[in-house]
Amino acid sequence: QFKSWFENFRRVPASKSRSNITIKSRIIEKLSKEFSEYLKSDGVRLPKEATKVSSCAPSANTESDDEWGSDEDDVEQDEISFPEMTQSIETAIHELGGSVIPKLNWSSPKDATWINGGTLKCQYPGDVYLLLKSSDFVMHDLLTIGKNQENNVSDCHLVLRKWCNLHASMEFRCFVYNTNLVAICQRNHTQHYKHVVRDRMLFRSQIMDFFDDYITENFRLENYIFDVYIDKQERVWLIDFNVWGRQTDGLLFEWDELDQLAGLPIVESGVSPPEMLGDLDNAHPVIRVVETENAIRHDPLASYRAPTDAVDLATVGGAEFEEFMKLCENPKF
């Protein structure tokens, strides 16, 4: 879970060359059982104090077209309201520069970006609620956590991370077994990037140094996976941790391959024997990238790029689909 590692990496010891190695974040802990039930309930209704969302384009005709509505607004219903939660989200958004990315204990609602203009970027509390309410990934977290609820408080927590416009080509997934970095691969395996192919051994070296300098001393598990980002200044940033196991996507590696790599002799970083210098892919850590356009993989999120109703309507076509598209131009859900 995010909070189990974030505090250890939020502040770097003064003896290190950098003061920060991960993205600034705020954690809203111990979400109420009522809030968890709200997220699990059917339909998408936003709290009364958080109806403003970024995904509804403003119109010259009205002043309120950026507010999330409902066909049932005229029907008397119990009001939904989480004023303290909304205030906490507003405060976090302000403290983190005006835009955030939300996630629960493990998952971000990346399967629901279609409802937020194709992005996880949230500028208003309503954006956060909208993404969380529309996500199957978030629902999975809630159902997993639900068994551990006590009294009126759940083990669920909301994480808000500072929005950063990261280039997908510079994200990498790293695999650690028995405290040894055994494999690295391109995070976005649905695209071919020439510069990644060209500079992959440089990226490998930078990640190895980052792992030795910052990860090994501060993470207590022996087997795990972590994601990193390399910026234009060639600094490596820690994005997240995942469990070592088949429930985590191996991306360009099959899990049988990773299991095999975990059992191979480890070559310590920077001291590869001379006979291996010409074939560093055979040394640990193995780095794998999308070599050619023909090697790209299927995007696992492709099936989440539109609501199933939209797919069904597009298949049928005709007047119903045209009416749906008009509704999308000025949404009233």
Place of tokens 């408080």: 153
**Strands annotated E in the chain:** 25-28, 100-103, 158-162, 171-177, 180-186, 224-230, 236-243, 286-288
| 3-state secondary structure (DSSP) of residue 162 | strand
- Residues 38-85 pLDDT 10s: 998 988 889 999 999 987 644 333 444 455 555 444 444 678 999 999
Whether the per-residue pLDDT at 90 is higher than 90: the answer is: yes
Q: In angstroms, rounded to a whole number, what is the distance separating the alpha carbons of residues 118 and 116?
A: 6
What is the average pLDDT value for the chain, to the nearest integer? 81
Residue partners of 186: CB distance under 8 A and separation at least 6: 169, 171, 172, 173, 193, 196, 251, 252, 288, 289, 290
Q: In angstroms, rounded to a whole number, what is the distance separating the alpha carbons of residues 91 and 125?
A: 10
Among 178-192, 255-269, 289-303, the least confident range: 255-269
Angle in degrees, CA 124, 71, 73, rounded to 5:
70
Indicate the pTM of the whole model. 0.79
| Residue of 283, 286, 235 lying closest to 258 (CA atoms) | 286
- Residues 149-187 pLDDT 10s: 554 446 788 999 999 999 999 999 999 999 999 999 999
